[in-house]
Structure 1
């Protein structure tokens, strides 16, 4: 009821700006404070993400197994699991999970779909915590600024320029102008702030190229969630963030961009 009154009083664009203005300083502050505040914040966010994902993909958020899978993944950081022990626990959890799933007459396809989403969220959260624990706090902040610039550039370019649709069957509101606007904004912001927020990439063209790559992943993450929401026939993953929907709606770009950034580190690029 309160949310409906808020939406009546403010436009969706105003709500997005107000929510971002409140959240961004808080998120930057928590990241800057580091452990244990950052860890508590991110772990709480991960369980909220799994809550939304479970409710969307399973129709219930009370199933304990997605949270257990996330706990096991984060155990690689906090409990010093070996890779062998992690795989053993994971296979045991998946084996136990599938029993009530089949008993409820759910399809194997839905089970696999839900597990992929759970592992994706868990791995992305793991990488975000890994960045900070390994002294890459500024690098993670740079990733966030690139993603925020991409999201903002896409939103305002799409709203004010419009034009041909990017993927009308998946997300009717997304346009090619928004796609290009997001990439341009991310490359400009990434190149300008890269000198101050990270030291992995030295030249401006390296920072611009990685910003371009992260912006592409940001757009892809947004489109992937749109595909998933269309599959499950839901408009938003939740309603906790005015103007944005659920936490998964807000972090869809960040999750894939963080995963993609982690891949660059693994490959040494």
Structure 2
């Protein structure tokens, strides 16, 4: 893991067209998929080795509070299930969501998704994957689907990249190492039913981990509620040592990042992306890797 060799940094793309066209399976999706394939060719020519994307309908990551004060005095994103259940998504605007929609467009999109259930969304994802993967292989660009965050249905919208069973169904859509996953352990562990470390280990064994987001969350014990925490194992609900050990034991050579961060030391900025805390996270992961490596020798 410490000797990651990539030509350039991974690219992250969600693409409004994915939400409006491909998620919904509209007839015009083929035109947009062709544009996406050309983007993959361009990325390959530019030396970008990995694309991280998601298939979350309408909204990306969702939280109930973007500036919650934790016990240590830092501020972080949290998800309070009770509070989210009270929200009207048609009136919300949160960082991480596509802000290019007008209120009218958002209402129309929400109405259109009433006709899309979980199985239909799977069919639309399969169509997309089978259309783009030959191009990704030719361009030498590995695709890495990001989990739904949190990994369960919200606002009545279907979500499908949610756990171990879903990951196995996904990689079987197209048998290629280019059809891989982003294992965001923090996202998966947000659902108490998921064993994020076990899921990482299984995907590593199948050579489908193309990107790793290594961050911690603390489950509060209130249903599916959680807080984004410092990266250290003791601060959250994930054994980060085991995460790094699995990466080491499988000789993972792909991209990894600490991902997300609290606001500490008086920093202000885009919620969830504190620079100082992410730097601490990167340092912590390097320290864990050295400890794992020495223990293995």
TM-score range, shorter chain: under 0.3
TM-score by length of 2: 0.25
TM-score by length of 1: 0.27
Bigger helix fraction: 1
Bigger strand fraction: 2
